[in-house]
Structure 1
Amino acid sequence: MSRTDSIVSKINQAYVLELLERLLAVPSPSGYCRAIMTLLAGEAEKLGFPLSFTPKGNGIITVPGASRERAIGLSAHVDTLGAMVRAIKPNGRLRFTLVGGYMLGSVENEYCTVHTRDGRTYEGTIMTMKPSVHVYTDARDLKREEAVMEIRLDEPVRGEEDVQALGISPGDFVSFDPRTRFFPNGFIKSRHLDDKAGVAALFGLLELISRREAAPARTLRLLVSTYEEVGHGASWIPGDVEEMIAVDMGAMGDDLSCTEFDVSICAKDSSGPYDEAMTTRLIELAKREGLSYAVDIYPHYSSDASAALRGGSNIRAALIGPGVHASHAMERTHRDGIMNTIALLAAYVADPAAPYGTQED
């Protein structure tokens, strides 16, 4: 296959990267996704594919295919790691609780924003209760856990009443400064590439379809979930979905072969093996299209497809996504990993027998 004939060459990379930058700029910890879902609804409408909402706030986009049978589900999650105010301390600092699973050391000294219930926002910094080595002899050795962490507000507060006067109360969401950087060499570093890079990939596929550069063989149900980081993002999916591909980040490190340039194909995660035939077909298509890919096992990982299976969905499932270094910390990927993911999705949805479409039940 020549370079000009490849699926990657047809992807509107500028569109994908611009959308990713916009997504990363919108705070969306799990459960606080209305603003970003409004953005995505508008974006889907521009591409000619209206987005509808489930009762819990997930988005569903339907793309008609050549066959209306055996719909394929594609999912990505727009919710991110974050925090929530647990209590206001007598000194005017905030105690917080985690939203999602991450190392507290990865957010220490990070800038954050507190979002009040009435729409106000206040900046602050996450730190330990002993933040200075000039003052505390055990500042370096202090175990990083919720009990010793707090948020210092950038407001003139000296006590609990001052904080309450700002409208801040327990249950308010806290988002982290993403610190996004796009580099000319293709690297992208930011918090929350898990899984906003996956969402950008789904919309890159939609954009291809809108230009008729990709044609789904079967109806697609694209699910954008808002609670994946807390375990139940896609626990409900449309009933006509028989195959589901979760598009989420590929982990890197230790004995894993994935790099930031690859599309990761996960054969097994903490929920067990993914569908053998789907995974095999994804590998075959990656080879056919000349894509940079890796097949790995992630023992400390689960996906929207895992949630759908645990929720009782009678589906076959697979998991792919761009390689992301330092997941749930200061993440980094490369545009090639995202484009390889889009290309693999486009190849799969265009294949009428990928892998079950021509078989009888």
Structure 2
Amino acid sequence: MGKKTASNGVKSPAKTNGAVKEQQQPAETQQRRKQNVFQKFFITVLVGVLAVAAALMFQRWNTERGAERALYDDLKGKDYPFEMRWVKDKGMGLFATRKINRGDRVITEKPLFALSTEVNSPPEKVLRDALAELSKEDRARYMRLGNANLHSDPAVSIFQTNAVSLGSGKAGVAPTFCRLNHACLGGFNVVYTHRDVEGDIIVQAVRDIQVGEELLTTYTDTLVPTAERRAYLKKVYNFDCECSACTRTPSELAASDKRMHEHRDLMRKFASWGRKEITGKEAIAVGKRIWNIRYNEENPPYASTKGQLLADMAHVCAAHKADMATVQYAEGAAKWFGTEIGHDSQQFKDQVKILSLGPAMHPHFGTRAKEDIEGPGGGAF
């Protein structure tokens, strides 16, 4: 059979003459050259884009690493029993690097500055003026702190996120202390107080803390029902609390909430003693029930304010001249003040004074009618 030809009668290129080849060859070569030029241009652009992207990624990585190194440098040279780590969904946190015993001093830190909570000038200006007084390094430390995006101005938002009450109508920011994350009820293991005279923020362990365990404090009074405290934390700090106390089973949360409702009513009744609405005996009975709810029925038990509750009960007993009960409650108050806020605290010293010199040294001794109030027994707490 003869070879097929194209449908238009032109023979296949294999049978074309030299003139046809000479006309087609330059067109094919030109097309290949255009393709090569485009490929080179595309590769050049792609390489450039990748190089820029790599440079930006490196710059971002280097910046983040620099910021991370700066965070860790904040702890350098200090014999803290913890290190700083990144915690998913929480930011930076503090984790024990050695065993911390209940009652150990964990942090002693002066705030970078203190601002009055009652000012006539715009808060933004007051804060900016305070930041301007800081060293460059301390300003950088401040701007590295957590930001819950509570305000359009980052500096103001950082203050709102991290500020702590310093008493006497003031609030301040302490960079190391601010790295403590929050837990409710029995979920936290350290507590803080502010020393007016020294100007220090003191953090004490209220539980034994194991190596690798996160140090947690409480940002507010969490002796309230679950929904209330979670709503408050969301509004003020802009996070949904997922601590161990807030993630218990539904039945456990319901039981705890019932206790917290009772606790709130009891606290109001206890306070009514100050208005002379209940007797000393009634106040002590209420105080005992408050103690049981916080420290015996909650699981895990509430971790703080034992010293203050016992000191308040000693106050009631002293006012009614119940000498033995005053001493026994003051004994418990001294023990727990020493653990919770330190043996160098004024609250601890006040209780020791009563124990050393007698119940008549209590500033409120004998200010109410005498009542025969039974004490808890020596060493009860």
Q: In terms of Rg, which structure is larger?
A: 2
Greater strand content = 1
With structure 1 as the length reference, what TM-score do the two structures score? 0.22
With structure 2 as the length reference, what TM-score do the two structures score? 0.21
Greater helix content = 2
